[in-house]
């Protein structure tokens, strides 16, 4: 009886671990999609709206929700203050804090955190072009993650259940 309960607990724990990993993959796809949308909005506001980067952050803080809203609001406030903080430093700090706990890969985080350092162009065409390059990179990652999500989730669930069965056999 106790062995059967133990086997059930092992299987439930491994299946729960697998579902947690699947949810992390789903969150990554969601955040990549959101970042692509943010970069698209930034590109549009710079090229068509002729807004500066701090103004774009104010607009994004009004449009987006969740952690990105707070992040863009802090970036705008940090560059608006009397000290007039350097935009790229404020962006890097606040975006780094925002993206720190998210299930993104390191190069995806770096693309967002180091974005203003590559925006050395004064005219909006150059800035929107560079943002478009970052958007293309993240969109490729998003498409790849979205296409492989179903297969990865099936594989993770299968491996977690098989691991549970293996542990149950070994521990019996």
Instruction: Find the mean pLDDT for residues 88-92.
Output: 90
Query: What burial class does residue 37 get, using C-beta atoms within 10 Å of its C-beta: 0-12 exposed, 13-18 middle, 19+ buried?
Result: middle
| Dist CA 138 CA 110 (whole Å) | 11
**Per-residue pLDDT tens over the stretch 114-162:** 998 877 666 777 888 889 999 999 999 999 999 999 999 999 999 999 9
Q: Where does the chain have alpha helices with state H?
A: 2-47, 53-63, 67-80, 87-99, 106-113, 124-171
**Per-residue pLDDT tens over the stretch 95-112:** 999 999 899 999 999 999
Q: pLDDT band at residue 36, thresholds of 50, 70 and 90?
A: very high
Q: Quote the pTM value.
A: 0.86
Q: What is the pLDDT of residue 85?
A: 60
| Dist CA 85 CA 21 (whole Å) | 39
**Per-residue pLDDT tens over the stretch 38-85:** 999 999 998 888 888 888 999 999 887 788 999 999 999 988 765 556
Q: pLDDT band at residue 87, thresholds of 50, 70 and 90?
A: confident
């Amino acid at each position: 009886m106790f062995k059967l309960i133990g086997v059930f607990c092992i299987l439930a724990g491994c299946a729960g671990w697998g579902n947690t990993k699947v949810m992390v993959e789903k969150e990554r796809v969601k955040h990549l999609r959101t970042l692509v949308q943010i970069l698209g909005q930034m590109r549009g506001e710079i090229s068509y709206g002729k807004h500066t980067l701090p103004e774009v952050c104010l607009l994004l803080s009004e449009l987006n929700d969740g952690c990105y809203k707070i992040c863009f609001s802090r970036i705008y406030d940090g560059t608006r203050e009397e000290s007039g903080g350097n935009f790229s430093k404020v962006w890097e700090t606040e975006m780094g804090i925002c993206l720190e706990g998210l299930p993104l890969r390191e190069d995806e985080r770096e693309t967002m955190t180091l974005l203003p350092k590559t925006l050395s162009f004064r005219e909006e065409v150059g800035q929107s072009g560079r943002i478009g390059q970052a958007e293309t990179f993240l969109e490729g990652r998003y498409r790849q993650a979205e296409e492989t999500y179903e297969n990865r989730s099936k594989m993770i669930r299968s491996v977690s259940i098989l691991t549970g069965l293996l542990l149950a056999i070994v521990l019996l």
